[in-house]
Amino acid sequence: HIKKMALRALVGCKRVIDYAVKIRVKPDKMGVVTEGVKHSMNPFDEIALEEAVRMKEKKLVSEIVAVSCGPTACQETLRTALAMGADRAVHVEVNGEDYDNLQPLAVSKIFAKLVQQEKADLLFLGKQAIDGDCNQTGQMVASLLDWPQATFTSKIDKEGDSLKIIREVDGGLEHIEVKIPVVITADLRLNEPRYATLPNIMKAKKKPMAKYTPADFEVDISPRLKIISVEDPPVRQAGSKVENVDELIEKLKGAGVI
C-alpha cells in the first residue's frame, strides 16, 4: 500500500553541450569538440525534473533525488537541479576515456542499482539526450527493474497507486495507465521548466550531494559499441526560386527529374 506522501522520485540530469552551441566534429573524426564549449542540463531532463517538482508541490512526492553520471563538471548540472527544486543529489563519477565511451546500458545499470538503493518509486528521465539522441536509457532501466514504463509522456495524473499517462506517438496521443513504481520519460509538451531563482541557487549550495563510482554499484561500464567515425552531415545545396509552374517544369526536366 502506497501512502500519499511516501513517493520518492529519482531524476536523471545529464550534462550535455548546450542546445544553442554549433557542434564541431573533432579533426580525428572520433567525436565532437567539448573543450571550452558551454554545457547545460539536457532540456528533456529539465522537463522531467520540473514534473517531479510539480508533483512534490502537489504533495504527491515527498523527496526528489537528482542523479548525474560523468566528470566533476556534472556537479554544476546537479546544483542547477537542486536550485530548481531537487532535495539532494547523487554524482556518479566517470572520467576521461571511460566517460567518452559511457553508453546507455551502463548508465541504465547504475540507475537501476540507485533506484533500489534509494527505494525510489518513480524514475524520471528525459525521453532522450540531445547529444547522443539514443532514447534508450528509460526503456533499459524499466527492463532491468521489471517496472512499467511510460515513455514520451506529455501529461501525468495520479489516481490511487497508478498514474494516468498521455504519451506522444507517431499517430497522435496514446492514453495508458501504469502501476507505481514506474519509469517515466518526459516529452517536450509535458511542461515548461522554471528558471532557478537566485535565493534557490544560494540554498542549493547547502543541499547534500553524495559521490559514488560505477565500481560502488559493481557495474561494468566498458562499452558494447565502438565508434568508427563521426561525420558532419552533408552540406545541402541551396534551392532556387521560380516565377511560375512552366519554369518549374522546365527546371525539373533540365535536372532529369521528370
Question: What's residue 1's pLDDT?
Answer: 46
Beta bridge partners of 177: 164
* Phi, psi of 41, rounded to the nearest 5 degrees: -70, 140
> Which helix (H) or strand (E) element contains residue 75?
helix 74-84
Give the mean pLDDT per block of 10 residues along the chain (258 residues). 69 96 90 91 97 94 96 96 96 93 95 96 96 94 97 94 93 94 96 93 94 96 91 85 90 86
The pLDDT assigned to 233 comes to 86
| Burial bucket for residue 51 (CB in 10 Å: 0-12, 13-18, 19+) | buried
Phi-psi region of 243 (alpha: psi -120 to 50; beta: other; left: phi over 0): alpha
Q: Say if CB 193 and CB 126 are below 8 A apart.
A: no
pTM for the complete prediction? 0.86
